[in-house]
Amino acid sequence: MALTNAQYDAIMHQYEIKQQKSREEAAAHLQYVYQHVPGYQDLDESTSDVSASFGIRLLGGEVQDRSWLKKKLAEIASQKKSLLKEAGLPEDYLLPHYECPDCHDTGYISNEKCHCFKQEIINLLYSQSNLERLSATNNFSVLTDRFYQGEDLNHFHGAVNTCRDFIKNFNSSYQNMFFYGTVGTGKSFLSICVAKELLDHGHSVIYFSAADLFQRLSENSFDYRNKEQLQILQENLFNCELLIIDDLGTELTNSFVTSQLFSCLNERYIRHHATVISTNLSLEDLRNRYSDRIFSRITSNFMLIKLTGPDIRLYKKSHNV
């Protein structure tokens, strides 16, 4: 996903801050151990003394058994470990603690951007999407079926099971989901639940309301000064691991919107990147409102998930839930 130089530098600066924090924390822990765990500092210093002495003898031409050095260092390490345990401290107390254990807060694994770096890009470029705020109140931990009955309840349970399977198989199979049905029945809620689970597992996710997405595309497409921003936006839309388009149909639909929507769906289909769409439109409305190409792309390549029932938002408001 594309960044300007200034944006890249801003992210790398945050990683530098994280690394400095972990170094300072590790240094503070070591100082605490030296002061409060008798004998530990002596053992720690003896490690370098033993290694240095061994090296000096080698340089002096003496024949040395390297297995002896290995055994000696292992003994010291074991004694240090025992001292920490006796002091009630965890074994990893003196190790750096990273926010991302995979890349050790460097942003890279070998020469590849870490998943945490990719999400930092998403957070930087799309902070106004409010996905973090939305996922705090829309997640599986607060999932309930108490607003549904009968066939509506069956639809809801089926949708939840499909979402869980989608998450479970995300790394192994290419799938898309299309939530449709009556207003306020949990389509956006389930979309954001899926987003949170995948974010928590290190995947890059972009969330847009349809109105916001097409407004951004329009603003950048019709102003030549925004050519670079348009390229960045499109690259991210096409390449993020999951794109969520919420409330499709609430935008002002025209030929520009239709062409941009098809382009986005088609590019993501070609690249096998998952897309989730929610809408209050019926399938018939979808076909009438957008092109046959879009209707065909969605109905042939998306799992169609219908939700029906009462408007939960109105129910909560009227019952002060």
Measured CA to CA, the distance from residue 288 to residue 79 in angstroms comes to 75
- Cβ atoms within 10 Å of 196's Cβ, excluding its own: 20
3-state secondary structure (DSSP) of residue 320: coil
Report the distance separating Cα 86 and Cα 110, nearest Å: 38
Amino acid at 79: Q
Q: What per-residue confidence (pLDDT) applies to 227? A: 80
Which class for 321: exposed (0-12), middle (13-18), buried (19 or more C-beta within 10 A)? exposed
Residue 126, pLDDT > 70, answer no
pLDDT at 131: 75
| Residue 306 contacts residue 155 (beta carbons within 8 Å) | yes
Tell me the CA end-to-end span of the chain in Å, nearest whole number: 41
Distance, CA of 183 to chain centre: 28
CATH number of 126-318: 3.40.50.300
Q: How far apart are CA 71 and CA 85, in angstroms?
A: 21
**Domain extents in the chain:** 5-86, 126-318
CA–CA gap between residue 90 and residue 84 (Å, rounded): 7
Nearest Cα residue to 121 out of 215, 227, 191, 205: 205
Indicate the burial class of 204 (C-beta count within 10 angstroms; 0-12, 13-18, 19 or more).
Answer: buried
Q: How confident is the model at residue 31 (pLDDT cuts 50, 70, 90)?
A: very high
Q: For residue 321, what pLDDT band results from cuts at 50, 70 and 90? A: low
Which segment, 35-49, 96-110, 155-169, 194-208, is predicted with the most confidence on average?
155-169
Least confident of 50-64, 167-181, 224-238, 287-301: 50-64
Contact between residue 26 and residue 96 where contact means Cβ atoms under 8 Å apart: yes
Q: What is the mean pLDDT of residues 19-36?
A: 93
Average pLDDT of the chain to the nearest whole number: 88
236 closest CA partner among 126, 135, 128: 126
Q: Which of 71-85, 108-122, 260-274 has the highest mean pLDDT?
A: 260-274
Residue pLDDT, tens place only, 242-300: 999 999 999 999 999 999 999 999 999 999 999 999 999 999 999 999 999 999 999 99
Q: How high is the pLDDT of residue 243?
A: 94
Query: Read out DSSP for 7-62?
Result: HHHHHHHHHHHHHHHHHHHHHHHHHHHHHHSTTHHHHHHHHHHHHHHHHHHHHTT-
Tokens of 34: 């030296």
Cα separation, 34 vs 265, whole angstroms:
60
pLDDT, mean of residues 14-27: 93
Burial 147-156 (b: 16+ CB within 10 A, else e): bbeeebeebb
